[in-house]
């Protein structure tokens, strides 16, 4: 018969532990511990404490930073789980010297770091520069949409929310009437009365919540398609399309260096479209690099790559003014790529009803006319100026379009009389969009833009997948930005751990 070693759960064991020996050189926790002890300016936290004469002793800010940043590096984002790890995990105990703050202390410390997180991010960026981890030649800007601590169900315009409120009030009336009818028939038990009352109180709280929101807030800014949706839970978050469908959340943006994927500047915004955020990100990055001694003109003549969401005339004009060598494609970029010339043949499209574009018309140079798909001619009519451009205007004959079988595919509406074309020949002002199209379509432009994904996408993969930031736990832009910046800080510290030489810093110190 087989014999097994004896197991006894009632026995006790005393294990002597040296905390300093648990933090092993070469690990993330060793790098984190060294950097906070030697390269973080934690004096900025001291001003908040007023317990020098009275009050209980506070937890050391350095210890709190070590606990929080190490927790984020292990994908632990909940304050309760961080507090639990401080009581159970030996590495947390070693880093914190057996400090065990409760979850409310941890949460309050994170929420209060609005100004401090910028300074400690710059401290780490300076270390990255000293270790030559920043190439300073090519940067990529992109965003990562992450769900916030707010529900989509509580989103809508003020009109939508008013309808929701009226629906709740109607439900309350129906439940109240049902309750009265049951009382009259004496068929309403005490248990049913209690359940009905709880249900009515629950719905009434929702009505009061909406009413309170109306009293404290104004409708959000109007857009060309109407009023922006508000959110009762977190009105600074926004509905946006992410990789997993529409979410209620924030867009975490990062300017990333190409050499080692060091994040130069992070910021979270409650806005999905990135076109309106580019200038703010570049200005923030300029302030950050200036603060660590790299100068105000650090990004001048440097390459910046961004996705199609950042393509706009205003952005390109701003980048040109800043002398930044930008590579930002438009929405039609891939359609013009010769490598995707036959891509449309794999798409299921309704070619019979597709509207004719300018490319479907053939130019006749000798006659200075265009031939339409219906084999009719569009004649030159005049030289026209429009929207800071000048060009030739061509128009078909009314009688040709009136009887044409392809009329529905050619004209915008049934009321249109005839087809016209406007061919731009001159731009009065410098057209940055046109210049960018010509620049990005060159072999060199396409090659440089292809590097974007390898620079910035792994950063978001590391933060969201490896580090577990799949949902912001805080509310409001200020607090969400703290959490996003701390995760970006963890990413940079990990790069120092993997590619930096800590011994050089230790020798210099």
The CATH class given to the 138-148+237-335+437-486 domain equals alpha beta
pLDDT value of position 184: 66
pLDDT value of position 273: 77
Both tokens of residue 508?
């210099």
For the chain, counts of helices (H) and of strands (E): 20, 15
pLDDT value of position 174: 86
Angle, CA of 97, 98 and 103, to the nearest 5°: 115
With a cut of 70, list the residues of the chain below it in pLDDT: 183-188, 222-226, 340-353, 387-388, 427-430, 504-509
Give the model confidence (pLDDT) of 413-443 as tens digits: 888 889 998 887 776 566 788 888 888 988 8
pLDDT value of position 163: 87
pLDDT value of position 225: 57
Domain residue limits, the chain: 19-112, 138-148+237-335+437-486, 158-218, 343-429
pLDDT value of position 13: 81
Residues 6+ apart with CB under 8 A from 305: 138, 139, 140, 141, 326, 327, 328, 448, 449, 451, 452, 455
First to last CA, the chain: 64
Q: Model's pTM, two decimal places?
A: 0.80
pLDDT value of position 444: 92
Give the model confidence (pLDDT) of 382-398 as tens digits: 888 776 678 899 999 98
pLDDT value of position 423: 86
């Amino acid at each position: 018969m087989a014999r097994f070693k004896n197991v006894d759960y009632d026995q006790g064991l005393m294990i002597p532990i040296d905390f300093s020996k648990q933090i092993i050189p070469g690990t993330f926790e060793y790098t984190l511990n060294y950097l906070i002890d030697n390269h973080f300016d934690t004096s900025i936290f001291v001003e908040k404490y007023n317990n020098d004469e009275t009050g209980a002793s506070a937890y050391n800010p350095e210890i709190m930073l070590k606990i929080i940043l190490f927790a984020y590096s292990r994908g632990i984002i909940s304050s309760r789980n961080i507090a639990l790890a401080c009581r159970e995990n030996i590495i947390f105990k070693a880093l914190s010297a057996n400090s065990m703050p409760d979850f409310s202390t941890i949460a309050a410390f994170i929420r209060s770091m609005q100004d401090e997180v910028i300074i400690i991010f710059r401290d780490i960026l300076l270390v990255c520069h000293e270790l030559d981890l920043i190439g300073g030649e090519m940067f990529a800007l992109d965003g990562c949409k992450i769900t916030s601590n707010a529900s989509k169900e509580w989103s809508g315009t003020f009109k939508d929310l008013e309808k929701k409120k009226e629906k709740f009030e109607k439900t309350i009336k129906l439940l109240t009437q049902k309750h009265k009818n049951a009382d009259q028939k004496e068929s309403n038990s005490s248990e049913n009365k209690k359940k009905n009352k709880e249900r009515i109180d629950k719905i009434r709280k929702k009505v009061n919540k909406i009413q309170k929101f109306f009293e404290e807030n104004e409708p959000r800014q109007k857009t060309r398609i109407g009023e922006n949706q508000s959110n009762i839970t977190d009105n600074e978050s926004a509905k946006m399309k992410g990789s997993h469908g529409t979410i209620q959340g924030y867009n975490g943006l990062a300017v990333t260096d190409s050499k080692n994927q060091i994040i130069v500047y992070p910021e979270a915004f409650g806005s999905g479209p990135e076109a309106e955020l580019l200038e703010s990100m570049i200005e923030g990055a300029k302030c950050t690099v200036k603060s660590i001694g790299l100068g105000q003109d650090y990004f001048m003549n440097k390459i910046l790559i961004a996705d199609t969401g950042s393509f706009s005339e205003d952005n390109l004009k701003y980048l040109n003014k800043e002398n930044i060598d930008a590579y930002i494609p438009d929405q039609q970029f891939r359609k013009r790529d010769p490598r995707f010339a036959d891509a449309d043949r794999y798409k299921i499209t309704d070619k019979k009803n597709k509207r004719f574009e300018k490319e479907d018309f053939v130019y006749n140079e000798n006659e200075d006319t265009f031939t339409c798909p219906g084999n009719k001619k569009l004649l030159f009519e005049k030289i026209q100026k429009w929207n800071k451009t000048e060009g030739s205007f061509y128009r078909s004959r009314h009688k040709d379009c009136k009887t044409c079988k392809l009329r529905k595919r050619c004209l915008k509406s049934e009321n249109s009389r005839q087809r016209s074309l406007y061919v731009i020949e001159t731009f009065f002002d410098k057209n940055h969009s046109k210049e960018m199209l010509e620049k990005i379509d060159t072999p060199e432009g396409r090659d440089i833009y292809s590097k974007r994904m390898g620079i910035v996408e792994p950063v978001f993969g590391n933060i969201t997948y490896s580090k577990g930031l799949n949902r912001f736990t805080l509310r409001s832009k200020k607090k969400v930005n703290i959490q996003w910046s701390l995760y970006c800080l963890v990413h940079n510290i990990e790069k120092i751990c993997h590619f930096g030489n800590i011994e050089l810093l230790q020798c210099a110190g």
